[in-house]
Structure 1
């Protein structure tokens, strides 16, 4: 009779290159963004970094191989930031709300701002405790610039709340303006509800 394997003596070697984590499978996708070149390299690399950090425990086994791929992608798509910065600045300056909702329009702008901040980061204060208030002034300036960019692309139907925001003695922060415009949009939808297709057909 052949000896039976004692399952109690069998243990998993988590450091083995042949070990598969339960979440590992060929169809698993770490991020929803598909890399298609320079156009979306920066949001893709940010998403991948966050996904890999979340799964770091069982992906460090492939560190050498992953590092090779990562370096290759970076050398191909992230060598020159000038053209991408130009493209982002152009998109921010020319974006229009048009058929987008307030939330959709704001989210598009936010993506441009976040990527621009990633590849063209603002300077960091190196002194121990800024006492002149320059940092706060700079952050306020950045907020006002983004607020203007956000308001410029709004449809003319929001001219009244836009004027109210611009005429305040102290410009509101971006999140406050966004919240106000969301409320205005919701009020408009309740005042003028869309006509259903069935009613229109009758």
Structure 2
């Protein structure tokens, strides 16, 4: 009995052992932040598998991956790993699902139960995904948002299915290349025609048709260019609108507007700069300051008594 306990401890604490448990791995850990709620099983499944593969324990999800040992001295170490994985999976599902799976004691049985309930292998689920995929369009969204929606649906439908027999023959390479082209075409068809019809035609005319990653990069580049041009046009339009504002008009009973004229230098001592461009006596409409230079002075066409001259003096010279 003592030797059995000693071997269990050695298998659990030996980093080279398939049953090694790191000190930071406890039953309270969770494998993913994406809790299983039912309709997100596709994403949840992939994150769980990736997390367990990173810990070299994905085999526990398959009855043939980490089968229960016949050696009684290894069985305790296997049970310790199996229990931890069951706890991790339970911690990674919604609290409404947990009560229905808590009785499972074997990891691969727990995994199979969840896959049977929420997996996408049933016909109605596939039909729903295909319907969503066929109706997916950009519809004014940014390219990043549309691309993420497209890839998510594509992966749910085809991401886990290898279109070949798994070999590396020439035929398999051609099949994979054709699937990538099909993926690119579907992505391009969902783009807004008004914005991307030209760049889309250029991409489709390329031989061979680029994969979706290259096509996405070209579309994003075009979107940024259009955004820059649109921002520049908006600024120019605002400036043109401001310059087209009508000049102030006189209303009945309004005093006349004082205008300033540029004339040759005079000996009028009180004029050096005028701040009365567009000023009615007693009321400012527009303000514009004219600074005098050598040989130039500004005089008022009419200087009503209500407007006091600005005595700032001329520059010497």
Q: Same fold (TM over 0.5)?
A: yes
Q: Quote the residue 1:41 is aligned against.
A: 41
Structure of larger gyration radius: 2
Query: What is the CA–CA distance in structure 2 between the aligned matches of 1:183 and 1:92, rounded to whole Å?
Result: 25
**Equivalent position SS for 2:137:** coil
TM-score normalized with structure 2 length: 0.47
Whether the aligned pair in 1 keeps the contact of 2:120 and 2:126 (CA below 8 Å) is no
TM-score normalized with structure 1 length: 0.70
Question: Which one of 130, 137, 141 corresponds to residue 89 of structure 1?
Answer: 130
Q: Quote the residue 1:182 is aligned against.
A: 220
Query: What is the CA–CA distance in structure 2 between the aligned matches of 1:110 and 1:174, rounded to whole Å?
Result: 10
Report the Cα offset of residue 162 of structure 1: 0.9
Are 1:172 and 2:210 an aligned pair? yes
Query: What is the CA–CA distance in structure 1 between the aligned matches of 2:145 and 2:43, rounded to whole Å?
Result: 17
Query: What is the CA–CA distance in structure 1 between the aligned matches of 2:218 and 2:51, rounded to whole Å?
Result: 34
Question: Which one of 91, 109, 114 corresponds to residue 73 of structure 1?
Answer: 114
Deviation sequence 1:148-168 (CA, Å, 0-9, x none): 110111112111111212233
**Equivalent position SS for 2:231:** coil
Change in Cα spacing, 1:20 to 1:36, as seen in structure 2 (3 Å) is same
Unpaired runs of 5+ residues, structure 1, are: 1-12, 196-202
Report the Cα offset of residue 23 of structure 1: 5.3
Query: What is the CA–CA distance in structure 2 between the aligned matches of 1:113 and 1:77, rounded to whole Å?
Result: 18
Q: Counterparts of 1:103-182 in structure 2 under 5 Å?
A: 103-125=144-166, 130=169, 133-156=170-193, 157-182=195-220
Query: What is the CA–CA distance in structure 2 between the aligned matches of 1:139 and 1:79, rounded to whole Å?
Result: 23
Change in Cα spacing, 1:60 to 1:138, as seen in structure 2 (3 Å) is same
**Equivalent position SS for 1:193:** helix
Change in Cα spacing, 1:143 to 1:183, as seen in structure 2 (3 Å) is same
Answer 1 or 2: higher relative contact order, Cα 8 Å, separation at least 6.
1
| Larger relative helix fraction | 1
Q: Quote the residue 1:5 is aligned against.
A: none
Deviation sequence 1:69-111 (CA, Å, 0-9, x none): 2222122223843222222222222111124321221122112
| Larger relative strand fraction | 2
Deviation sequence 1:121-180 (CA, Å, 0-9, x none): 323145xx63xx322321222122111110111112111111212233432222221111
Report the Cα offset of residue 65 of structure 1: 4.0
Whether the aligned pair in 1 keeps the contact of 2:164 and 2:172 (CA below 8 Å) is no
Q: Quote the residue 2:301 is aligned against.
A: none
Whether the aligned pair in 2 keeps the contact of 1:151 and 1:162 (CA below 8 Å) is yes
